[in-house]
């Protein structure tokens, strides 16, 4: 599951990693090199495409 998550997020962001929660359902993800606004914008676009 973690590999799938990183693969999915890797398509949206260049530099992403799981910081905490590798074995939990809840995860803390770090995205480097982008503003918070850009991260949110890309996530929202990805969710809209899947709906």
| Helix, coil or strand: residue 18 | strand
> Do 28 and 18 form a contact (C-beta atoms < 8 A)?
yes
pLDDT band at 26 (very low <50, low <70, confident <90, very high): very high
Q: In the prediction, which pLDDT does 4 show?
A: 87
Give the residue numbers spanning the domain of 22: 2-50
In angstroms, the CA 45 to CA 12 distance is: 10
Number of domains in the chain: 1
Say whether pTM exceeds 0.85. Answer: no
Q: Is the pLDDT of residue 51 over 90?
A: no
pLDDT beyond 80 at 1 = no
* Average pLDDT of the residues in 27-36: 95
């Amino acid at each position: 599951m973690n590999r799938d998550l990183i693969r999915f997020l890797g398509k949206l962001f260049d530099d992403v990693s799981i910081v905490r929660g590798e074995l939990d359902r809840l995860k803390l993800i770090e995205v480097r090199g982008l503003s918070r606004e850009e991260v949110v914008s890309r996530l929202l676009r990805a969710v809209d495409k899947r709906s």
